[in-house]
Amino acid sequence: MKRIQEAPVSLSQSTDFSLPLTLPWGPLESPVMPGTTFFSRLSSSADPWSKRSPFLKKSLDDITLQYDNGDGGTATYQSSETTMSSTSSEHLSLAFGITVGNQWLNVSVTGGYDKDTLENSDGRKFSMRASFRCGSVMLLEKPRLSKEARILLKYGGGIEEFKKRYGDYYVAGYRLGGDAGVLVSESRSSKAVNERLSVTPSAKLLFITVSKTYEKFFSSASKESCYRIHGFDTLENQSIPAEAPISVYSESGIADLLTKAAVLEKHCLKLAERAYRQIEATGLRSGQEVEAQILVELLRSNLVVEICLLPICRLREVIEWSISKDII
């Protein structure tokens, strides 16, 4: 029986069903702290975070976070190389002639034009990508609602008004690790054109014919070579979107580009090792509580690659205050 491949769930589908979200992340000067609320409808904007919090400040200050290394981490590596080559040739041949004269004198001109075009193109692409996840830092308790948030839920329009004011998701944790990748492409093309033009004038007087052929040859050739490199490394906060054609004769330029590619390839192969070294530098151990200062250092580092968001409507306290009949 043929297995049907499931399509990935989109962000809008996840939010429609209030599913947990895991979004790509990177270092920021102003870290997004646990309990910060998020407007999913503004996810494509520059600032989807709420300036107001539905949670008690003391609840957020006293909340506990814990690091779990996820049984040692998970790594994936992918690499591929493709080559292509094509050759095309074209031949064009034209002939012409003209004759004028009478019964005693006849003059004619004949000629021909030939053109041969040969084109070659070759290409090669090499890519490597590595991804490593070495655990997460997550909230151990749920944050508590403020009195203002509870009143809004019960008397101010319910969960929909609550979402409009505070957002529909909150930051529940962070996934640690790294991603790196490199793509190097090389394309070369050559074109050779050979042309021949011949003209033969002739004259015939009675029984005597005189003729002479003139030929002219033209040749041209061209070569082009283009190298491109694209790469990134989240642990180094590095991105190389370079796309600079380099002449095939510029050996120094090619060498510099290939050196950069080799460095990125090495970063991919040693991604897990490099991430572990950074984790060890923070002093974190699996099962350990994460202090506020260490959390800030993590958020400003390159180790946080994803941010974990949970739907506010799934909080037990939110559900209770949404359906409770009791009066405050």
Q: What is the pLDDT of residues 97-118, one digit of tens each?
A: 888 877 777 888 888 899 999 9
Tokens 């590595």 -> residue = 130
Q: Residue 28: which of 298, 223, 315 has the closest Cα?
A: 298
pTM of the model: 0.75
Task: Dig out the tokens for 207 from the structure.
Answer: 């029984």
The residue count of the chain comes to: 328
Give the chain's mean pLDDT. Answer: 86
Q: What pLDDT digit, counting tens, does each position of 199-224 carry? A: 888 888 777 888 888 889 999 998 88
Q: Tokens 């508590």: give the residue.
A: 144
* Listed residue (54, 313, 88, 294) closest to 190, CA to CA: 88
pLDDT digit string, tens, across residues 29-88: 778 999 999 999 998 888 899 999 999 999 999 989 999 987 778 889 999 999 999 999
* Mean per-residue pLDDT, 241-257: 62
pLDDT exceeds 50 at position 5:
no
